[in-house]
Each structure stands twice: as structure tokens, then as C-alpha cells.
Structure 1
Amino acid sequence: MDVRPLYRQAADSTGRIIDTLGDEQLAMVTPCSQWRVREVITHLVDNRNRLLTNLTGGTPPAEADVRTGFRATTEALNTAFADDALLEVPYELLDTQYNAATALFVDFADTLVHGWDIGVAIGLEVRLPEDLARAAVKGISRWPDNGTIWGVNGLFGEKLPVDEAASPQEKLLAITGRSPQWTPVGR
């Protein structure tokens, strides 16, 4: 499976939400208890910059606005991964050697889920593209439950229980530690 189209679609979906954000919305709380909207976007930008630095040796110029930074790093990553050879470059993630395609998959899943986080934080009813949610669940669920993928210090939050008949979006939210019923306090 080529992860690049999935990544582009997730980045576009999340980018459309980020593009609508007003300055005051950057301070809103999110399902990521330690982060506000601004910090979620900063996290996405930082992850992309780390990936770009490790794979290409460079990043786009830093942007003062996290919204612009999201678009700049997305574009830079898409440009870098246009080179098929980059997919097989070794990449270390959580002290384990993978390839860059796996690192891009992690960024795809992270981007998709954080798009939901940002959207619900600002009061949107976010419907993730079903094919993307299904692909993310399929890939994430293959990873070993060895203490580095899920939990406080893992890539994703602690898994939540979910019904087998749940939608792909509900399954993705649960496997990444999110409740589909989350709403900001007071809303």
C-alpha cells in the first residue's frame, strides 16, 4: 500500500479545518488534555519538521503562524515523498528501526486523528473520510502492544473499548484513546 495518497488526503482534510480557524480558536481546549488547538497544530508541524530533517536534512522556513506552518510543512513533505526511493530510507521511531513509509504512515494517522481533535474542539461535527479511517485502523492495529505505541508516552493515547460493529471513525478514535462523545467543558 502506498501511504502517500492517504497522507495527502488526511493533510487536506485536516488543513481545511485549520484554514478556518480564527485566532481566538487557537486557544480552545481539545481532546488531547495537555494541548490547546495551537499546541496540536504545533505538534503536527514539529513532527513533520523532524521527519523532514531526518530524511532530507532540511525544513521549510519557520512560520510565525501555526496555520501557515501546517501548510508549509505539508507541502514540503509531499514534495520530499514524491521521490519513491525516500519511502525505503531507514527511519528510527520509538527506538525501533522502520522505513520512511512507516514514519509517513504514523504522520498520516496522527494528522487524521488530530484533524478530528481540532474540529470537535471548535464545535464542528467531524466526519473523517471512511476509507482513511479504515486504513488508519488497519495499520495501527498491526502494531505490537509493547508499551511504546499506546499510553502516556506512546504515539497514541490509551486504547478505549469499542464495539465490533462501530464505524471506522469510532474504531480509529477508540484505538487512539479518544471518546467520540468528547465535547469541551461548558458546551
Structure 2
Amino acid sequence: MDIRKLDRAAVLETLRILEQAEPEDWDRPTPCTGWTLRQLVAHMTAQHHGFAAAAAGIRTGLAAWHPGALGDDPLKTYRTAAEAALAAFAEQAVLTREFSLPEISDTRRFPATVAIGFHFLDHVVHGWDLARTLGVSLDLDEGTTEAALVIALRVPDDERRLGPDAQFRPALPTAPGAHPLDLVLTTLGRSPDWSAPARQGPSAHHD
């Protein structure tokens, strides 16, 4: 499993989806309770910057991972952050490093493959969030979603999922024979049936 190749595919898919967003879409609700599309993308942007710093061996405090403003061109701001993370992960020596990830632990450091796996899983799930928000398809092959499921199943399903700032919610029941992507979602507490209100007007997209 080439985790960097998988991560790149997931991140590029988030960009493809966001390129379909219209100006009025940035205030739409998302599967992340209480977050609009703009707030979700601000979170994703901060994650890219945080992981890029960690990949470079820079130890940052938790405040550096907090979302900031996206400005007048949120897609451009997000693209810049995503490209920074992908470039940091692509460095030849990165797989020999350990990452400091204060959102997960303020004491532990994580092997690069594990840390990039966290980033990969996050952007598979957030790619689905973006797609559902905009009413478009998520185009990831089954091998990619199966790899994400392997990582998702390792995420502890305990009291840490109950807090207001939890990254994931308690796991949900899954229908027999579910697709790997649906298993990823339910394992991390998301309902595959979630959908946003229909987009209005001629700019609306369809699957």
C-alpha cells in the first residue's frame, strides 16, 4: 500500500469536487454538524498546513491547526494548502521522519506512514462530505476506499468520540454487504444516507 499515492488521490478528489462549487454553495450545510461548506473547507485547509509542517519536522502548537479565514477566493486558498501538503509528503526523506500531531497527542510522535494514513483517511471522509454537500459523486476506486477502511477500523471507538471536539462520532450500524466506503463512514459515525437540501437554479449539479 503506497500511502502517499493513496493520499494524493484522495486530496486531488477533494479539489475536483470543490471546483464544482458555486459562490452560493459556501454557506450550505455539510454532514459535519454545525459546519457550513466554508467552515469545513477552512478546517481542511488548516489540516493541510498542519500536516505540511509536521512532515517538515516542525513542531507546532495546537493553535496552529485551528482554522483561519479563507478569504475572497476559498478554492484558491484551499488549493494552495492542499498542494503544500502534497509537496511536503512527496519529499524523498519524509518516510524516515516522525510527525508531531498535537490534535491527536501532545506527547507522542507518529511514524510518517501512520501520520499520512491519518491525513488520507480524513480526506476520504471529507471528500464524501464535500460531495454530499454539493450533491455530486465521489470518484474514488474501490482499492482506495478499501485502504481507507483498513485505517478506519483501527480508530478507537471509545469515550473520545463523545466530546464536542471529537474528530469522529461513535460507530453506526452497517447494512450487510455494504460498499467499503459506506463501511468507512459508519465505522466513523457518519450516515451514508445523509444528504443536503437540493441546490436551486441552473447551477445545480446532479450525480
Q: Which residue of 2 aligns with 1:38?
A: 38
Does the CA contact (< 8 Å) of 1:7 and 1:104 recur in 2? yes
Counterparts of 1:38-77 in structure 2 under 5 Å? Answer: 38-56=38-56, 57=58, 64=71, 65-77=73-85
Match of 2:23 in 1: 23
Which structure: larger Rg? 2
CA–CA distance in structure 2, aligned partners of residues 175 and 151 of structure 1: 14
* Letter aligned with residue 127 of structure 2: G
- Using the size of structure 1 for normalisation, the TM-score is 0.86
Larger deviation, residues 77-86 vs 8-17: 77-86
For residues 134-153 of structure 1, the aligned pairs below 5 Å read 134-148=146-160, 150-152=161-163, 153=165
What is the CA distance between 1:28 and its match in structure 2?
0.3
CA–CA distance in 1 between the matches of 2:162 and 2:16? 29
Alignment check: 8 A CA contact 2:13 2:138 kept: no
Q: CA deviation at 1:9?
A: 0.5
Could you tell me whether the CA contact under 8 Å between 2:42 and 2:70 is conserved in 1?
A: no
**2:172/2:186 contact within 8 Å kept:** yes
1:12-35 CA distance string (max 9 Å, x none): 111101111111101100111121
Equivalent position SS for 2:130: helix
How much does 1:174 deviate? 0.6
| 1:151/1:2 CA distance change after superposition, 3 Å | farther
Q: Residue 10 of structure 1 corresponds to which residue in structure 2?
A: 10
Q: TM-score, normalised by structure 2?
A: 0.78
The one-letter amino acid paired with 2:20 is T
Q: Mark the runs of 5 or more structure 1 residues left unpaired by the alignment.
A: none
Q: Distance in 2 between matches of 1:144 and 1:125?
A: 29
> Which structure 2 residue ranges, 5 or more long, are not aligned?
200-207
Partners of 2:93 and 2:176 lie apart in 1 by: 38
1:159 to 152, 171, 180: 171
Tell me how far apart the structure 2 counterparts of residues 50 and 20 of structure 1 sit (CA, whole Å). 26
- Written as runs of structure 1 = structure 2, the 5 A alignment for 1:115-126 is 115-126=127-138
Which amino acid in 2 is paired with 1:26?
A: W
The alignment's C-alpha RMSD in Å is: 2.4
